Chain A
């Protein structure tokens, strides 16, 4: 990604450098050549429509090339590959909290393996932050009340800067951290040290604690919609619209259930705004996703059964993170 951005950047440096040179050479040459000399009068020139059209159309054509190129790069930046590893980020004044799908948690550090597509699913507990990794040339604002997404693939092991780029209060400049890119073997070792069980099984536990299963039966007979298989599918709403059940939709349904109610169900679900932390919402979303997909590694069933004692540790870690 950095290479794509830099290529466009260099192209722009060349193009704008040439434009600057053209203008400055004209300025300096005219200024010197046509400086005041006694007895020599300026020659009045009204203007020239062909010239005006030339220097409107040519720059515009060049601009359109830059626009198209910039748009292509942007589309890549904004479209994570479907099989990316997913990592949840919760921002708060003034730290970055990281939750890996496998259950690892970190603060102001993000460990990733080299050569793997990584998708960050990010939200904020308070104000707007921005997750900025200059070395990867990517940045995305992190908003309260919804998820935003950012992705990258690190190509070289090393430690890179992580900055908060959106002003967020007193310690804005202290909201920095490190992106640690490791060889797969090292990463594996790091991942196994103090493993805490997958995020989805934490979510399963929260799901049980909050009694979600009372209504959301797995057989589709409950008072709430069946959640198995729902993620990523279109959902028919009561008001006739259809929405895609993505992370933001699931999140909204937990925090503001009345907003986009599924067709055929009564508005009986209470809001969980204020009752669950951002981390718990992330865990719930991860859990619902895990029971929706047959993706290896994120299937709730297999890992959940083996994660009994580890879960408590995850919860404990969670409270430390708070």
Chain B
């Protein structure tokens, strides 16, 4: 891609250098600085969760339980799940990239409620500190699913602490969603109509709705678990007339839509990247936009597909299976539209695009294996096996984390004002893709062969070892792939070349301001007179510079 020559220029005032000192960060209300606070915090939790994953894979290298104790192993996969989901994936794209980009993409100075934005980060940090305390003082062994009555009456680990930590972090997520909804409704620049919004914004709007409506149910559920455990109320305990299946309904009512909290923003990121690196308006803009909303709505109606063997009625299972196929349609629409966007494009293979291609491949496999799980007759066999583990990692790691990394590479020049080494970035994308498939593809096979999940010791069935060894080998490759970007991003902050304002020649208001942007994003309020993804104008030969709002 042709890069505009970076002109040597005097250091402009931007959001990074406007003030220095710890308090200028800890008390900031600038959405961009808060995004960086989130970036540092979630990276911390990502590596903790990744460390747990590494220990899990090492334990499973051999059939016998020989590396850690059974209880330790149970805590490892529980805390891997809790940390990765509630403290990394749920906040990842919305709280970092969303926080940074939502105001800039719609031409606003900040989010609607800057102080609530800061509050949400503090809630996240308080929840995170409670979780770290919980892990250091013994941890929790209920799985991230907290199933009753094991969590309420039997586990003798720190269930209450973990539950409260997630409870507090949940409010951080609610506040972020609230902030985005209000901002997107009220703070769009003149001319930025709904149909001109970047699809990243549509995806975040849909995500925010889920965060607002779903997360309170999680809070209620966890409160009930804590109350049941402390006071023995008899909500979930059958000995007191309670119903353990009620817990599962409540839990999945949030936790299924939560999958869309993780994947929808990644879809938004990938949409931006594909449009930019094919130099095209996205194919079927309105279908892609409304499929995000459709996913958010239908996503609330499929929760009991996690419970086909739990003891619910056959007829309930039928309804939930049918609805699960309905929610698959908007996801399929998106994949087809992304693919169609490439048609007659002018495709560049820069690092963000490699991640987007990776996303397309892995999300397709993850989505299609979801069809197996939604098929009632097959779900009975593969649920609670490694098939499920592989499926949701294809969606949540292959999909969401690929999207997150793609977005980090795409917007890093804007965020940091520096360019990362392109060669290393392409190499890392390749390593992540290969390592990921090597880790998780064998798990589909293990699952259909019948290996149950959450097994610490499989010496009863040594025939599963070969595939487990492959998976562990893949995990080490994947680990390297994840460490690389952190290293070169950090390196680029000091040694990277200064980034031009629009290194990709991308559409979108965020590229029309400086890199890094000034504190209030734009020198003067932008007025939007063009449609989203106006790559035709941007690439038009001999065209005058499109008026820049800076």
Contacts and interface: CB of A to CB of B under 8 A. Distances in A.
B450 A169 contact: no
Given A34-B345, A167-B150, A71 B281 contact: no
A27 B342 contact: yes
Interface string A61-79: 0011011011111111110
A63 B329 contact: yes
A23 B336 CA distance: 8
B314 A51 contact: no
Interface stretch (A135-143, A179-187, A233-241): A135-143
B385 interface: yes
B501 interface: no
Interface in B486-543: 535-536, 539, 541
Contact of A66 (B371, B380, B457): B371
Contacts of A4: 377
Nearest to B360: A27
A71 B456 CA distance: 33
B339 A70 contact: no
B57 to A, nearest CB: 16
A71 B377 contact: yes
B185 interface: no
Given A20-B368, A56-B332, A35 B347 contact: yes
B245 interface: yes
Interface in A4-36: 4-5, 8-9, 12, 15-16, 19-20, 23-24, 26-27, 30-31, 34-36
Contacts of B329: 56, 59-60, 63
Contacts of A139: 309, 380-381, 383-384
Interface stretch (B93-101, B117-125, B141-149, B193-201): B141-149
Interface string A248-288: 00000000100000000000000001100000000000000
A8 B378 contact: yes
A302 interface: no
A44 B278 CA distance: 10
B347 A30 contact: yes
A72 B325 contact: no
A218 to B, nearest CB: 31
A60 B336 CA distance: 14
B159 interface: no
A166 B375 CA distance: 20
Contact of B448 (A9, A27, A130): A9
A128 interface: yes
Contacts of B377: 4-5, 8, 69-74, 76-77
A132 B452 contact: yes
A78 B361 CA distance: 36
Given A139-B309, A169-B74, A27 B384 contact: no
A128 B143 CA distance: 13
Contact of A128 (B244, B345, B374): B244
Interface string B319-330: 001100110110
Contact of A176 (B65, B245, B454, B460): B460
Contact of A24 (B308, B340, B361, B450): B361
Contacts of A45: 280-281, 283, 340, 343-344
A145 B456 contact: no
A23 B364 contact: yes
Contacts of B284: 47-48, 51-52
B321 A163 contact: no
Given A34-B347, A127-B149, A42 B357 contact: no
B357 A70 contact: no
Interface string B336-357: 1101101111111100000001
A16 B332 contact: no
Given A63-B329, A169-B150, A172-B454, A78 B339 contact: no
Contacts of A172: 74, 454-456
A31 B150 contact: no
Given A126-B154, A170-B74, A42 B279 contact: yes
A73 B376 contact: yes
Contacts of B456: 172-173
A230 to B, nearest CB: 23
Given A167-B147, A173-B65, A173-B452, 10 more contacts: A20-B364, A20-B365, A20-B368, A30-B339, A52-B284, A66-B371, A74-B308, A74-B318, A139-B309, A161-B450
30 contacts: A12-B371, A23-B336, A30-B347, A35-B346, A41-B346, A41-B536, A41-B539, A41-B541, A42-B539, A43-B344, A45-B343, A46-B285, A55-B336, A56-B333, A60-B325, A71-B376, A71-B377, A74-B314, A77-B377, A126-B154, A127-B147, A141-B311, A145-B238, A145-B244, A166-B147, A167-B454, A171-B70, A173-B454, A173-B455, A256-B241
Listed from nearest, the 5 A-B pairs whose CB atoms lie closest are: A134-B450, A145-B238, A73-B377, A70-B375, A74-B376
